[in-house]
Amino acid sequence: MKKNSTTHSAQNVDEIVSNALTELMSTKTLDDLDQWRIRYLGRKGIVVQLKRSISDLPSAERPEFGQTINSASKELEAKLLNKQEEILASDSKKTAESIDVTLPGVPVNNGSLHPITQTIRDICDAFTTMGFEVIEGPEVELDYYNFQMLNIPKHHPARDGFNTLWIDQEDSNGEKPMLLRTHTSPMQIRTMENQEPPVRLIVPGKVYRYEATDSSHEWHFSQIEGLAVDKGITFANLKGTLYEFARKLFGEDVKVRFRCDYFPFVEPGAEMSIDWNSRTNQTGDANWIEILGAGMVHPKVLKAVGYDTDKYTGFAFGIGVERIAMLKHGIDDIRLFYNNDIRFLGQF
């Protein structure tokens, strides 16, 4: 039977609200009120549980259900404040002039982590449990690390794909050596330059592209880079690691697919897609959605940092964080993440 068929209806939310309001009417003390608040509006409360269950719904149904939950939650918060004032007013009447400084204060609505921050944490958790270390790197980067050391020399056509924002400062040859990093891959090089294998790292961070924005493009977004280099690493390790990551993030039943792709710094290169329907047990055709690029680190890249390619091999991958967050939460416009609209951000 399908999970949660009853919880996912507006009718069910109405019922929860009306039960909550009946209970609220009978609260007499601030302690009772606080218990009520924890039960319905607390961090593990019923409203939060309803919000979490949104991601189980088919994406077409999510926005409407999300709005129903939001307005229910607002109603409960408003009623809570009214009730609190009512209790405080009657208490202060009773105690005439005396002020009880131990009374709990008026609850302040807690903020929450930005959905992209939450997604980055989820992804990092998935990889750290597999032994990867989390590191960060500079957003203003050198052409040398962003391109050249990644097997993308000057004038290489692959540069066209990375619409680069250059820093307006020329060197003695009249060239611009600095840029806003177009991907998190340069941290592969910076790390390997300073560290002998074994290397197992992930690099979350902001990246920048000179792009017109639309519902699926932003001029800045987030990536998580991954790199593993050691003796005897094979494509099977790449597949196993990334499959495990997909299962940790999207559930045990998720199906994945690898296909050839090209990135100058890996050979062979691949893209991994997940079958979106497999995680919600929907029947019918697979709905393949690409979630990352990956590959075996190109021997030229390993040689450039001084690694012995007879001894060491490795795999690398790059994950688009917004893509994953949009999938997980059923969001269809990437720009929503960065408009700072509290009506959107307050849902997470």
Q: What are phi and psi of 64, to 5 degrees?
A: -65, -45
Judged by CB under 6 A, does residue 322 bind ligand DAH?
no
Residue 208 neighbours by CB distance under 10 Å? 21
Query: Which of 72/242 has CB closer to ligand DAH?
Result: 242
Of 14-22, 121-129, 171-179, 287-295, the window that binds ligand DAH (rule: CB under 6 A) is: 287-295
Judged by CB under 6 A, does residue 317 bind ligand DAH?
yes
b/e burial code for range 245-278 (CB count within 10 A of at least 16 → b): bbbbbbeeebbbebeebebbbbeebbbbbbbbbb
Judged by CB under 6 A, does residue 293 bind ligand DAH?
yes
> In which element (H, E) is residue 274 found?
strand 266-275
Q: What is the nearest approach in angstroms of ligand DAH to the Cβ of residue 167?
A: 19
CA dihedral 286, 287, 291, 297 (to 10 degrees): 40
| Contact pattern from residue 155 through residue 194 relative to ligand DAH, giving x for each residue in contact according to CB under 6 A and a dash for the rest | ----------------------------x-x---------
Q: What is the nearest approach in angstroms of ligand DAH to the Cβ of residue 47?
A: 38
Q: Considering only residues 132, 145, 250, 263, which one is a binding residue for ligand DAH as defined by CB under 6 A?
A: 263
Of 3-11, 102-110, 276-284, 312-320, the window that binds ligand DAH (rule: CB under 6 A) is: 312-320
Q: What is the nearest approach in angstroms of ligand DAH to the Cβ of residue 25?
A: 56
The whole-angstrom separation of Cα 287 and Cα 82 is 48
Q: Considering only residues 277, 318, 323, 324, which one is a binding residue for ligand DAH as defined by CB under 6 A?
A: 318
Beta-bridge partners for 229: 199, 314
Of 82-90, 214-222, 293-301, 338-346, the window that binds ligand DAH (rule: CB under 6 A) is: 293-301
Contact 324, 251 (CB under 8 A): no
Length of the chain, in residues: 348
Query: Which of 59/148 has CB closer to ligand DAH?
Result: 148
Of 28-36, 79-87, 119-127, 288-296, the window that binds ligand DAH (rule: CB under 6 A) is: 288-296
Of 71-79, 119-127, 245-253, 310-318, the window that binds ligand DAH (rule: CB under 6 A) is: 310-318
Query: Which of 50/228 has CB closer to ligand DAH?
Result: 228
Query: Which of 122/267 has CB closer to ligand DAH?
Result: 267
Residue 196 neighbours by CB distance under 10 Å? 11
Contact 265, 150 (CB under 8 A): yes
Query: Which of 205/295 has CB closer to ligand DAH?
Result: 295
Helix (H, G, I), strand (E, B) or coil at 148: helix
Judged by CB under 6 A, does residue 294 bind ligand DAH?
yes
| Contact pattern from residue 212 through residue 231 relative to ligand DAH, giving x for each residue in contact according to CB under 6 A and a dash for the rest | -------------x------
Site size toward ligand DAH (CB under 6 A) is 11
Query: Which of 41/179 has CB closer to ligand DAH?
Result: 179
Pairing of strands 312-320, 220-231: antiparallel
The whole-angstrom separation of Cα 254 and Cα 277 is 8
Contact 85, 107 (CB under 8 A): no
The whole-angstrom separation of Cα 326 and Cα 137 is 25
> In which element (H, E) is residue 172 found?
none
Question: Minimal CA–CA distance to 208: which of 258, 141, 145?
Answer: 141
Q: What is the nearest approach in angstroms of ligand DAH to the Cβ of residue 275?
A: 21
Largest Cα–Cα distance of the chain, in whole Å?
Answer: 86
Judged by CB under 6 A, does residue 323 bind ligand DAH?
no
Query: Which of 20/272 has CB closer to ligand DAH?
Result: 272
Question: Contact residues for ligand DAH (CB under 6 A)?
Answer: 183, 185, 225, 263, 266, 293-295, 316-318
